[in-house]
Chain A
Amino acid sequence: MKNLTRFLLFVSLILFYGCPQQHDFDPPVSNYEPVVVQRSDFENSTELLPPRTIAASGKIYLKDDYLFINEPNEGFHVFNNEDLSNPEKIAFLKALGSKDLAIKNGTIYINNATDLIAVRPNYNDLSLQVSKRIINTFPQQISPDGFYFDVGENEIIVNWNLID
């Protein structure tokens, strides 16, 4: 009995002190609202565009002479890095909801929000061939402050806006 009491006390301590946010009596809500896109629009939104300004930086990837900088949830800035002293910005690979990529041979794999896509870019004419799209293979994004949102079957969360 004494042990049980101790155990319960221990559990309560963890419950109460584990996370300070849980002291609040209001149910916690996210400070973000999701940016939701319909699947039909979403699938047509992946393209290779002329280079543009980098608004924010994420993960990086190096393959041969190409250097990629992710702009979280927007896509990848592509640099020709042949001359290490003068990397040249050559394209922006737009991929909504993206955070990461990997490359095998000339094929780029991207987490396009809930989908895995395999693409082959042509930097000369800024065209992009999507050779495969595996839909709904990744979960919908969680908000930056850790909340789950329910969306419709054909709706995809591609970004977050901070609520003022």
Chain B
Amino acid sequence: MKNLILLFVLTLTFGCSKDGDSSNQDSAEANTGQGGSLASFTVVGDYLYTVDESSLNIFNVINSEQPVKVNDLPIGFRIETLFNFREYLYIGSRDGMFIYSIENPEEPSYVSDVQHFTACDPVIANETHAFVTLHSNTQCGNDINLLEIYDINHIVAPALVSSRNLTSPKGIGLYGDFLFVCDDEVKIFNVTNPVESVLVHSINKEVFDVIIKGDLLILIGDTGLYQYSLDSGNIENIQLLSSIAI
């Protein structure tokens, strides 16, 4: 019986993942902007999703000037970040990562979660993997600073495929097969094989979040914002365009 239910859920999940793709991304890209990985607001199509300390809030923004709150869902405690990829929301909290389906945009439904006993910061994802940084200091006795990569092909049961120690990782961003991680400096990993991520380059800046849009890289830290151009043909060719002192 249990297997039957699982099969049913799987069929539902994978059945939709093909339909939702293109329209979702395209319409979202066209008229909304882009935040960093620490964002707690995201617009997907005609809906604004936000997370606060404990809940996911859903606003209908069909009329963009007149948002209407349509739903809120309790998720957990100390919710921090919200990331959308295709028909899923990835929610980062101090306790772990939660995945919700927004196939029905006003009624997000729980898909799966991964729990940690420590601080867990942002999560981002692509078609096959979710990337999470865990950053903690003395707050609860732990001193865990990790980059974790989960295989989400089977999205109802994310599987940890890689875990590597870092210094103090925070914001993360994907540039094709390259993962940018804001650590004690910005570390760039080739994640073509997510089981064995390889450090290929670094940028000597201590920052806490990143936006990557096309070939534009934006870094934000306590003392400045920095913009760079990236080169997909040569990941080491990173040119500083401008900086804003803070």
Contact = CB atoms under 8 A, between A and B. Distances in A.
A79 interface: yes
Contact of B41 (A66, A102, A107, A131): A102
Given A79-B244, A102-B43, A139-B54, A60 B220 contact: yes
Contacts of A89: 244
Contact of A118 (B38, B57, B67, B209): B67
A69 B41 contact: no
Nearest to A81: B227
A1 interface: no
B36 interface: yes
Interface string B205-246: 000010101001010111001010100000000000110101
B140 interface: yes
B246 A61 contact: no
A132 interface: yes
B32 A57 contact: no
Interface in B1-38: 31-36, 38
Given A54-B246, A109-B48, A131-B66, A62 B218 contact: yes
A61 B35 contact: yes
Interface of A: 17-20, 54, 56-57, 59-64, 66-67, 69, 79, 81, 84-87, 89, 99-107, 109, 111, 116, 118, 120, 131-132, 134, 137-139, 142
Interface of B: 31-36, 38-43, 48, 50, 52-54, 57, 59, 61, 64-67, 69, 138, 140-141, 209, 211, 213, 216, 218, 220-222, 225, 227, 229, 241-242, 244, 246
Given A84-B229, A116-B67, 9 more contacts: A20-B140, A56-B246, A61-B33, A84-B241, A100-B39, A103-B32, A104-B43, A116-B57, A116-B69
